[in-house]
Structure 1
């Protein structure tokens, strides 16, 4: 589960956001913020303020880009949330951690974030007016990590955060590098690169990456890739014609039941020489890693997901 750190306007402070690459639009705990923000003109472009129910984006978000779930209430132009007495635009949002649905107010918001040319951080912050966000009450943040104030959307939806960026290359491309430990920070790059990671800024990591095409899925705002096979110590499971959804929300890789059973069996055979430990939910196969008081590195095989090349995609999609 990844956290992005943004600041928001007009308050000079930072907020933490949960990165969701499947969410149709961004939302955060900001009803108090814009209720306390007095703007003198309806033409104020950079102000944080609620959207009107008479605007096209209100109707479009509700019709095509709002969350759909049996737990979501029908949306109307009335709301129990604190807000403007004018015609406001309530929309539904889904808590990606616990799956609960709640009401939010469609909102115009502004964010700043750290900038870089791909190698050197800028000494200033980039400013973005996010034309489609939503404000929620703090009750919608239940089960979120500590100090996380909302969701920042990086999906294919036209109302996700990347479409608020000005450059076309930003809109179509971004890269997400996950941290290797809880004490480290990850990084996100907008655009096609270069991608240099500090402090070792002499290698463009694009040269170290492997690439596979994205698979279109008309019923989702998320990202999908094709998977040909899963390999454990030279033995493979053929999963041709299978598509895999990428996620920044799920804590573990989720496999179809029949595929999961085969992977566990192959991994069990490949690690027969290692002592078993008592299973820890949600895992059924666990290995011992402590000998005495010293921590040893287990020599376990990699689990490799083989993805198709560009020229192989036609066979996978037919």
Structure 2
């Protein structure tokens, strides 16, 4: 089942612990990255400038990503590239089990390995208007192989991790410029309207001049004590963000389900994860079945059409009306 609206705005404020160093006489209050939505993959993309001389690096935004990673196999040329030596502070910060030189490796710019450093620049902001472009001379990142780009948007050369780690971008930026350790991410459901990531304190002013920080609704974030990453350096808690969903309602009625699936078990399974990588909601199979049953009852008068993978229930949109909030479909509440 696919649901869409003309515009959807998500704003999340999240807290981090970090360490990094930036050499600049100007200390910004906050930073901002523009966010676009790729029409083919429906992934959210951003861009930073990295290396010496600076080059634009297109990245897929990963809300729960552990760190910034960039493909370094080809065309990585930078006079400011540095590696993290074995047992160094950056290596320890990343909790990496090994770094360069641990096994006699001779590093070079773009050499694939767990922890690297290079210059990166980003736009500062006062929350309303763009400010000076500032630089972090030794921003930590991970060099990766090109096969990691599989299924990512065209032109992307890495991923910008915003997860709950000490080397995610929010953590590194907050430490580098000594501003509050939080960020807000505003995402558009449209490929024609841009979003943004604000690092640091508000206000968070979006067009047409609305400070969305004054109208946010909050829900607690919970920690999954077991890592959910396919690639990780150590057995740390998950870097993803989870919320505690108690039930799911369709048109005001709670759908029957095994509610224990909504909680995180001892092995780290279950719970409700917020993700920017998957372009649609993914449900556990038994929950999905009862959800579809209840939703289709609410659209009983709308003809079904042949499902389009990966969705299991699709409807003829010409028979669906519209409201000020979007399509006239059953209301879903978590």
TM-score by length of 1: 0.73
Q: 1:55 — aligned with what?
A: 88
For residue 197 of structure 2, the aligned residue among 182, 188, 201 is: 188
- Would you say the 8 A contact 1:179–1:186 is kept in 2? yes
For residue 23 of structure 1, the aligned residue among 65, 85, 89 is: 65
Could you say what secondary structure the match of 2:171 adopts?
A: helix
Instruction: After superposition, give the CA deviation of every residue in 1:69-122 in whole Å (9 maximum; x if it has no partner).
Output: xxxxxx97367xx9439xx9x8xxxxxxxxxxxx63521122112221111122
Query: Is 1:245 the counterpart of 2:273 in the alignment?
Result: yes
Post-superposition offset of 1:262: 1.6
Could you say what secondary structure the match of 1:58 adopts?
A: helix
Query: Is 1:148 the counterpart of 2:156 in the alignment?
Result: yes
Q: 1:177 — aligned with what?
A: 186
Post-superposition offset of 1:148: 0.8
- Would you say the 8 A contact 2:62–2:277 is kept in 1? yes
- Would you say the 8 A contact 2:86–2:102 is kept in 1? no
Could you say what secondary structure the match of 1:176 adopts?
A: strand
Could you say what secondary structure the match of 2:91 adopts?
A: helix
Could you say what secondary structure the match of 2:85 adopts?
A: coil
- Rg larger for: 1
Q: 1:209 — aligned with what?
A: 216
For residue 227 of structure 1, the aligned residue among 214, 237, 245 is: 245
- Would you say the 8 A contact 2:321–2:328 is kept in 1? no
In structure 2, C-alpha distance between the alignment counterparts of 1:129 and 1:229, rounded to whole Å: 47
Q: Relative contact order (C-alpha < 8 Å, sep 6+): which is higher?
A: 2
Post-superposition offset of 1:48: 2.2
Post-superposition offset of 1:14: 1.6
Post-superposition offset of 1:20: 1.5
Q: 2:44 — aligned with what?
A: 2
Instruction: After superposition, give the CA deviation of every residue in 1:109-168 in whole Å (9 maximum; x if it has no partner).
Output: 22112221111122x212224542122343432322011111111111111112222345
In structure 2, C-alpha distance between the alignment counterparts of 1:3 and 1:121, rounded to whole Å: 19
Say which is worse superposed, 265-274 or 2-11, in terms of deviation. 2-11
In structure 2, C-alpha distance between the alignment counterparts of 1:189 and 1:129, rounded to whole Å: 20
- Would you say the 8 A contact 1:31–1:83 is kept in 2? no
For residue 111 of structure 1, the aligned residue among 120, 131, 148 is: 120
- What root-mean-square deviation, in Å, do the aligned CA atoms of Structure 1 and Structure 2 show? 3.0
Post-superposition offset of 1:59: 5.5
Say which is worse superposed, 173-182 or 6-15, in terms of deviation. 6-15
Structure ranking higher in helix proportion: 1
Query: Is 1:84 the counterpart of 2:125 in the alignment?
Result: no
Q: 1:299 — aligned with what?
A: 328
User: What are the ranges of 5 or more consecutive residues in structure 1 without an aligned counterpart?
Assistant: 39-46, 67-74, 91-102, 306-318
- Would you say the 8 A contact 2:61–2:160 is kept in 1? yes
TM-score by length of 2: 0.70
- Would you say the 8 A contact 2:221–2:242 is kept in 1? yes
Structure 1 residues 282 and 237, CA gap change in structure 2 (3 angstroms): same
In structure 2, C-alpha distance between the alignment counterparts of 1:163 and 1:145, rounded to whole Å: 25
Q: 1:288 — aligned with what?
A: 316
- Would you say the 8 A contact 1:129–1:164 is kept in 2? no
